[in-house]
Amino acid sequence: MADARHTLGKPAALSRKAELTLRLATAVGDVAAWVSRITGRGSGASIRGQVLTRLAPTAFADLLQGRRILAVSGTNGKTTTTHLLAAALRESLGAEAARLVTNADGANLRYGIASALAKNRSADIAVLETDERVVSDMIALGRPEVLVFLNFSRDQLDRHHEIKALGRAWRVALDQAGDAGPTIIANASDPLVVWSSSTASRVVWVEVATLWSADAALCPGCGTVLTRLRSEGRDRWDCPGCELTQPSASYQVEGSSIRLPDGQVVVPDLQVPGSFNISNAACALAAAVEFGVDPVTALAGMHTVVSPAGRFATVQFGATTARLLLAKNPAGWAEALPLAASDPVVLAIDSVAADGKDVSWLWDVDYEQLAGRRVIATGPRAQDLAVRLGYAGVEHRIVPDLAAALAGHPHPVDVIATYTPFQRLLKMGGLR
């Protein structure tokens, strides 16, 4: 690090027995991951982690020890922000970039994190994308120095029926960690994030630009309907029923630029598109600065990020050139739809567990904005999408098979996909 305040050491030594168990489990996990890859079942990260954790039950906790950890969580933007933050830190490490380990593939549950860490035991800095459900364990077991909370919106309601319960768990974990807890980099514009962070000993607030506020109607603290205030040309939320109010932020997103705590305004030169990625960059920048990286170096690193885990990647399918956009929930669609400018545009919908089994969310997405363009509806739930588009007055055609939907486009097409078809597209395009 540019900053020499922190002493950096090798990851802490485990007991001889624990070390042997972990090594053996890692070796077996590697074999399982290799089998998974060659049989085409996936990248193997999750399988490696599962095997590893079965043979060495404390692997997740053990592998976190002795590293300086930065964790990234929230509903949307975790993968991209993790890539931006890792790139910022690598830039600062220069020739020592191999000291950094990250779960770049987006495998963000305990297995995925354990897998990434097991592959790189000697790395002493870890940038870890962390699922919302794993955050409490990460705080307790990993003692991260920095934890980024991006946003909190409804996602796959058949699994997480109450997002507030997650926020409550974070509050408890932060409270228990006390002064030893992480510095939180948190989105001040999101009431649930603010409430969830309010037991932390130290928070750096970032005010982001957001297209989605439908999940933030009620005060998470007292249940009163939140109001919007306008001051100094900016909208702020406020609870008339209790103390909770939008904190004034150290970092502010203003259009395509970011105002730093010292008043300096920087324009991140990103290769990932969209206003929400400016917001992600602002959070990554704040986290990097908190870790001791100077903003100029951090921004130079972030510039190198092109297609985090395949997001925004341009892929060739036969003669068709396609750009891949991932949208996992209504907030994600609100961000992705304005980016998808092609005509026709391909929308791919599935409803297995990773996508959310319930496709009711189709009616929370403003597909009406596609009117005047042609949509190709594909994926196992293309019929649900077709009915939605019919009511939206959008011209469309159903091509259930993903490969057929992508065949024979003379001009580049944008593809927005839910999680499962997105992973399939990466594989079909040779990116995974």
CB closer to Zn ion, 24 vs 222: 222
242 scored as a contact of Zn ion (CB under 5 A): yes
Contact footprint for other proteins (CB under 8 A):
154, 157-158, 161-162, 164, 214, 217-218, 223-225, 357-364, 383-384, 386-388, 390-391, 398
Which of 241, 273, 292, 338 is the binder for Zn ion (CB under 5 A)?
A: 241
Q: How far apart are CA 416 and CA 404, in angstroms?
A: 16
Give the number of residues in contact with Zn ion, rule: CB under 5 A: 8
CB closer to Zn ion, 239 vs 284: 239
State both tokens at 24. Answer: 């053996």
Give which of Zn ion, other proteins, none residue 34 binds (C-beta under 5 to 8 Å, depending on kind). Answer: none
Give which of Zn ion, other proteins, none residue 361 binds (C-beta under 5 to 8 Å, depending on kind). Answer: other proteins
CB closer to Zn ion, 63 vs 239: 239
Give which of other proteins, Zn ion, none residue 4 binds (C-beta under 5 to 8 Å, depending on kind). Answer: none
Tell me how far, at minimum, the Cβ of 225 lies from other proteins, in Å. Answer: 5
Tell me how far, at minimum, the Cβ of 73 lies from Zn ion, in Å. Answer: 23
Give the interface segment with Zn ion, choosing from 233-241, 336-344, 381-389, 405-413 (CB under 5 A): 233-241
Tell me how far, at minimum, the Cβ of 238 lies from other proteins, in Å. Answer: 14
- Which positions from 289 to 308 touch Zn ion by CB under 5 A, shown as an x/- string? --------------------
244 scored as a contact of Zn ion (CB under 5 A): yes
Tell me how far, at minimum, the Cβ of 153 lies from Zn ion, in Å. Answer: 19
Which of 219, 309, 334, 385 is the binder for Zn ion (CB under 5 A)?
A: 219
- Among candidate residues 332, 301, 292, the one with its CA nearest the CA of residue 85: 301
Tell me how far, at minimum, the Cβ of 374 lies from other proteins, in Å. Answer: 16
Give the interface segment with Zn ion, choosing from 99-107, 110-118, 156-164, 232-240 (CB under 5 A): 232-240
CB closer to other proteins, 13 vs 353: 353
Element (H, E) at 117: helix 110-119
225 scored as a contact of Zn ion (CB under 5 A): no
Give which of other proteins, Zn ion, none residue 242 binds (C-beta under 5 to 8 Å, depending on kind). Answer: Zn ion
Q: Which residues bind Zn ion (CB under 5 A)?
A: 219, 221-222, 224, 239, 241-242, 244
